[in-house]
Structure 1
Amino acid sequence: MPGWSCLVTGAGGFLGQRIVHLLVQEKDLEEVRVLDKVFRPETREEFFNLQTKTKVTVLEGDILDAQYLRRACQGISVVIHTAAVIDVLGFIPRHTILDVNLKGTQNLLEACVQASVPAFIYTSSFDVAGPNSYKEIVLNGHEEEQRESTWPDAYPYSKKMAEKAVIAANGRRLKDGGTLHTCALRPMYIYGEKSPFIYVRMIKALKNNGILKSAGKFSTANPVYVGNVAWAHILATKGLRDPKKSPSIQGQFYYISDDTPHQSYDDLNYTVSKKWGLRLDSSWSPPLPMLYWLAFLLETVSFLLRPIYNYRPPFNRHLVTMSNCVFTFSYKKAQRDLGYKPLFSWEEAREKTSQWIGSLVEQHKGTLNTKSQ
């Protein structure tokens, strides 16, 4: 597979950056184009300072600009599409989420057809499979079960419809007469250094005397380390470009997990931060059914107030369900078709995440010291 090129959308994000770091280690990669709407100055600098012979081209542009996307795709061999708006609380307007997550994906698929890009890998989410009820129990689920989210909330709906568009686009005729081959990866909840979700939780805990507020104590999840999700994208890229492997991957979706033990979201947050003195909230919390109906009540209040006031509830039924159910998936299909095996062990992932949290604790201490002087 001589000299090829890759476009990564959402390249400034938590996962996108990790994918780029692994991509530039590929010997035959001539160019990687990193695309995002806006790059933070430190991210831009990081890309410029990558130790690699691969050409790194930084592109700032909107995924809703079809003409821009077509230019960005010219001469590209593979598109890895990670760009998305993640919002499970409804803080971002529904039309914005649908525009970026669904319309943006459709725009990018069309740009691939027009620019004759033969391979497209989509970063989906386990959220497209549910859970649809907090009573639902899925342990080591697999792709053949054909689970589908029924939530009307903008995020799961937009990701589900975008994934369907990607899978449906497999086999489309390209402008140069070639064929578009697509696949989708469904990572579990992604953790690791620079996780925006963990960052918010840790900063709140540090401001709250080291007490971690509950993120879902009733759940059984199989979180996945960001480095392993990035590695799965590299393997999918190689697989779709390999004439022998490609036929079994085309038009498929894959759950991406790793060997992180099954645990609650609360236990994960505690495990990676306890070394630094953080601890779980021991105060009373309502039973799960009560929490669910309280969320329903808050959503109703929000709906009734909408004509006069934009009330945003602190949680909703989708979040309560997702954060408190038994919902885990196996990576056996990815292992079989993509040759996927986790690049990082649970011990390594835990240690790397914990060290990063340690740096946040030090920064917080520094901030407190500055304020007290």
Structure 2
Amino acid sequence: MSLRGEVCVVTGACGFLGRKLVRLLLDEETLAEIRLLDRYEPPVEFLQGLKDCQRKTVVSVYEGDIRDSEFLRKACRGASMVFHVASVIDTHGNLEDSELYDINVKGTKLLLEACIQENVTSFIYTSSLEVMGPNSNGDPIINGNEDTKYNTFGLFTYGNTKKEAERISLKANGEVLQNGGLLATCTLRPMYIYGDGCRFLLYHMTRGIQNNDVLYRVSAPEALVNPVYIGNVVQAHLQAGRALKDPLKRTNVGGKFYYVCDDTPHMSYSDFNYAIMSSLGFSIQKKLAMPYTLLYLYCLFWEMLRFLLHPFIKIHVPITRKLLVLMNTPFSFSYQKAQRDLGYAPRYTWEEARTHTIEWLATKLPKEREKIRSK
């Protein structure tokens, strides 16, 4: 099923995932219009890069706040499909909880209301693996699926906001639109997303440079996870959009969530960083800087210090207890349900994904070295 002739809205269109999704939609489909919704004006080079794949599709820019209901109604007016990618990510506890809830939860609710008021028939929400966990105990999941039961207590505030936004999105499935039609929704839960443009990979590379080209080990080798390449994540979004448009699949897919991963080998987060960056001349610490229990206490010390000094000064902690647990918990999933229901299949192999990511990091490496030398 094609999306030919659709008017699609992509929220967070200027972000890591949003840019790739916009590009894929223009490459693969002949849309009537694609609307780039973001709180920031799209970079000129991004818009220029879309011209070679734009063909007859109208590309419109909607710059505004996702918490502005009138702005959202304007952006959704006449649209038929929304890819809701936008969210605020915070893994270090540096942002106020209220800001995360305002954007991730309230923004999603307002966007769904705009869809109902403006007769948008399909809504795909980009959720997160962190709606599932890991929990504060570090209980593992190995090759889990959508039916896996798990106690999700003690999530990051970010994970809780994504969980609530996902719940709201799925609950909206079947809502009656202003014109009498029905809204169909589904959500996607990608694993940790990597690829060209991933700021987390760039962060770890920069820290490695500061450590004489030795990558820090923050996760034990046995804490296996399965990251997913950005090119495969956007492919899953496209397949979800096609499935919601297909009358034969729409009823089955609507109201459901899907894990999105690929054939990237299972390894710890730290070993994944090394698998990507070893060819750029980086080595990695053989073991954690200190025993796990001491690391946990180290995190607790920084969190207590931040709490005590919060009224006077803002402290950015190097790592939190929750992040430490997340990075040291075996947590992996299968994409079989997405394959069965959405027709999803990874477009890029591990070797292709790794090569593309290395090539991008290689272009950043000289500049990062120069920045560090100049300090």
Q: Normalization by structure 1: what TM-score?
A: 0.94
- Structure 2, unpaired ranges of 5+: none
Q: Residue 263 of structure 1: CA displacement?
A: 0.3
Q: Residue 283 of structure 1: CA displacement?
A: 7.0
Secondary structure of the 1:24 match is helix
Is structure 2 residue 134 aligned with structure 1 residue 131? yes
Q: Which residue pairs with 1:190 in the alignment? A: 193
Q: Evaluate the alpha carbon distance shift between residue 314 and residue 354 of structure 1 in structure 2; reply closer, same or farther with a 3 A threshold.
A: same
Q: Which residue pairs with 2:36 in the alignment? A: 34
Q: Residue 152 of structure 1: CA displacement?
A: 5.4
Q: Deviations over 1:300-330 (max 9, x none)?
A: 3333333444334221121011111100000
Q: How does 1:265-284 map to 2 (within 5 A)?
A: 265-282=269-286
Q: Residue 50 of structure 1: CA displacement?
A: 4.1
Q: Evaluate the alpha carbon distance shift between residue 283 and residue 251 of structure 1 in structure 2; reply closer, same or farther with a 3 A threshold.
A: closer
Q: Evaluate the alpha carbon distance shift between residue 284 and residue 269 of structure 1 in structure 2; reply closer, same or farther with a 3 A threshold.
A: closer
Q: Which residue pairs with 2:248 in the alignment? A: 244
Structure 1 stretch 334-343 or stretch 35-44: which is displaced more? 35-44
Q: Distance in 2 between matches of 1:316 and 1:156?
A: 14
Q: Evaluate the alpha carbon distance shift between residue 48 and residue 208 of structure 1 in structure 2; reply closer, same or farther with a 3 A threshold.
A: farther
- Please point out which of 346, 349, 365 is paired with 1:361: 365
Taking only the aligned residue pairs, the percentage that are identical comes to 42
Q: Distance in 1 between matches of 2:250 and 2:317?
A: 45
Q: How does 1:94-173 map to 2 (within 5 A)?
A: 94-133=97-136, 135-147=138-150, 149-151=152-154, 153-173=156-176
- Please point out which of 76, 81, 87 is paired with 1:78: 81
Q: Distance in 1 between matches of 2:5 and 2:134?
A: 42
Letter in 2 for 1:183: C
Q: Distance in 2 between matches of 1:88 and 1:213?
A: 18
Structure 1 stretch 181-190 or stretch 350-359: which is displaced more? 350-359
Secondary structure of the 1:170 match is coil
Q: How does 1:202-281 map to 2 (within 5 A)?
A: 202-218=205-221, 219-281=223-285
Tell me, yes or no, if the aligned pair for 1:48 and 1:56 is still in contact at 8 Å.
no
- Please point out which of 330, 333, 338 is paired with 1:329: 333
Structure 1 stretch 45-54 or stretch 265-274: which is displaced more? 45-54
Q: Distance in 1 between matches of 2:143 and 2:334?
A: 5
Is structure 2 residue 314 aligned with structure 1 residue 310? yes
Letter in 1 for 2:133: G
Structure 1 stretch 334-343 or stretch 284-293: which is displaced more? 284-293
Q: Deviations over 1:21-63 (max 9, x none)?
A: 1101234411111111113343343345544332111221110
Q: Which residue pairs with 2:349 in the alignment? A: 345
Secondary structure of the 2:56 match is coil
Q: Evaluate the alpha carbon distance shift between residue 215 and residue 229 of structure 1 in structure 2; reply closer, same or farther with a 3 A threshold.
A: farther
Structure 1 stretch 294-303 or stretch 120-129: which is displaced more? 294-303
- Number of aligned positions between the proteins: 371
Q: Evaluate the alpha carbon distance shift between residue 247 and residue 283 of structure 1 in structure 2; reply closer, same or farther with a 3 A threshold.
A: closer
For the aligned residue pairs, the C-alpha RMSD in angstroms reads 2.1
Q: Evaluate the alpha carbon distance shift between residue 63 and residue 135 of structure 1 in structure 2; reply closer, same or farther with a 3 A threshold.
A: closer
Q: Distance in 2 between matches of 1:118 and 1:148?
A: 33
Tell me, yes or no, if the aligned pair for 1:171 and 1:181 is still in contact at 8 Å.
yes
Q: Distance in 2 between matches of 1:50 and 1:93?
A: 40
Tell me, yes or no, if the aligned pair for 1:149 and 1:157 is still in contact at 8 Å.
no
Letter in 1 for 2:339: Q
Secondary structure of the 1:57 match is strand
